[in-house]
Amino acid sequence: MATLSAARYGKDNVRLYKVHRDQETGVQTVNETTVCVLLEGDIDISYTKADNSVIVATDSVKNTIYLLAKQNPVTPPELFGSILAAHFPAKYSHIHATHVKIVTHRWTRMTVDGQPHPHSFYRDGTETRNVEVSFHRNGGFTIKSSIQGLTVLKSTGSAFHGFVRDEYTTLGETWDRILSTDVDATWEWANFPDLDAVQKVVPAFDKLWEDARKITMDTFAKDHSASVQATMYKMSEQILAAEPLVEHVTYSLPNKHYFEIPMEWHKGIKNTGKDAEVYAPQSGPNGLIKCTVSKKGAAPKAKL
């Protein structure tokens, strides 16, 4: 005997662009995102009995995303995600929960002739600002905000020594190495009971995204890193301290290795240790270091 133990469905990869035109100054501001909206509720019979009467078509979900984007602010993404998430259980009594993911792509204003250009932008890197919002009719909103794909490198100021040495170890200790990673940092907000509670803290969403980016880059640059583990813990502690409404901070950092290339075999050329200048960047395998740092006494991490 089989039973449907979990089900959610909706539209993924909905690409959305919205422009704001300031009528007085002529300055335009753009926002481009990729949105996923999944619904949960009394939808079992659509799977188990081929009964489509409970299905809000994913095409209608897509239409709703466009319409709500026209009728509401799309920034900060934490707010637009909450507006989207609240809509479906309010409109359809058999839908009890919504799960929204919004990926915001970078369009950075161009500087032309030394001035910010009113309507021209460039994509400065693969970094995205992501939010995941879940709304349960009887449980309020859980919101996770994150930075993903921010690629950083420091050419010194990183060490790694004192680790386990045994019959499996070949790695040498180092007091000076290259450190590079693709930052994936997530901060999880305390539960919001309703949309009003989300509205009340709107300025905090952009502020913490800016703070988290700055904390990540400042700490990466300034910390004399003993390990990825020790550096990411310092970053997490500071993000928690920056915003009382945040209860958990999670980092997931690949350690993107740069190997020294011995060259002594060729005319005795020295290219290791203090003489290393030419390195071989590795695409894999890579270390992968993760942690979640929580406020003492915080509610357990939400399952989105």
Ligand X SMILES: O=c1[nH]c(=O)c2[nH]c(=O)[nH]c2[nH]1
Which residues are bridge partners to 128 per DSSP?
A: 105, 148
Q: Toward ligand X, which CB reaches closer, 63 or 272?
A: 272
Is 59 assigned to a binding site? Answer: yes
41 close to 96: Cβ distance less than 8 angstroms = yes
Phi and psi at 228, nearest 5°, equal -60, -40
Q: Toward ligand X, which CB reaches closer, 61 or 253?
A: 253
> Tokens 């995102």 sit at which residue?
33
Taking the complex as a whole, how short is the minimal distance between the CB of residue 285 and ligand X, in angstroms? 10
Q: Toward ligand X, which CB reaches closer, 139 or 172?
A: 172
Q: Toward ligand X, which CB reaches closer, 118 or 287?
A: 287
Is 278 assigned to a binding site? Answer: no
195 close to 86: Cβ distance less than 8 angstroms = yes
Residues within the interface to ligand X (CB under 6 A): 160, 171, 227-229, 255, 287, 289
DSSP code string of 74-105:
--SHHHHHHHHHHHHHHH-TTEEEEEEEEEEE
Taking the complex as a whole, how short is the minimal distance between the CB of residue 274 and ligand X, in angstroms? 20
Is 228 assigned to a binding site? Answer: yes
Taking the complex as a whole, how short is the minimal distance between the CB of residue 201 and ligand X, in angstroms? 35
Q: How far is CA 98 from CA 43, 54, 67, 154, in A?
A: 13, 15, 17, 41
Which residue in 300, 256, 260 sits closest to 276, CA to CA? 260
Is 229 assigned to a binding site? Answer: yes
Q: Rounded to an integer, what distance in angstroms lies between the CA atom of residue 97 and that of residue 274?
A: 58
Beta strand segments in the chain, E: 9-21, 28-41, 95-105, 108-112, 115-122, 128-136, 140-154, 179-189, 246-255, 258-260, 279-281, 287-294
Taking the complex as a whole, how short is the minimal distance between the CB of residue 228 and ligand X, in angstroms? 4
Q: Toward ligand X, which CB reaches closer, 198 or 235?
A: 235
Q: Toward ligand X, which CB reaches closer, 217 or 289?
A: 289
Is 255 assigned to a binding site? Answer: yes
3-state DSSP call for residue 273? helix
22 alpha carbon, distance to own chain's centre: 29
Tell me which residues are annotated as active site: 11, 58, 257
Taking the complex as a whole, how short is the minimal distance between the CB of residue 215 and ligand X, in angstroms? 19
Taking the complex as a whole, how short is the minimal distance between the CB of residue 293 and ligand X, in angstroms? 17
Query: In terms of C-beta density within 10 A (0-12 exposed, 13-18 middle, 19 or more buried), how is residue 69 classed?
Result: buried
Pair of tokens at residue 71: 């009728």
Could you list the residues known to form a binding site for urate, using ranges.
Answer: 58-59, 160, 177, 228-229, 255
Binding residues: 58-59, 160, 177, 228-229, 255
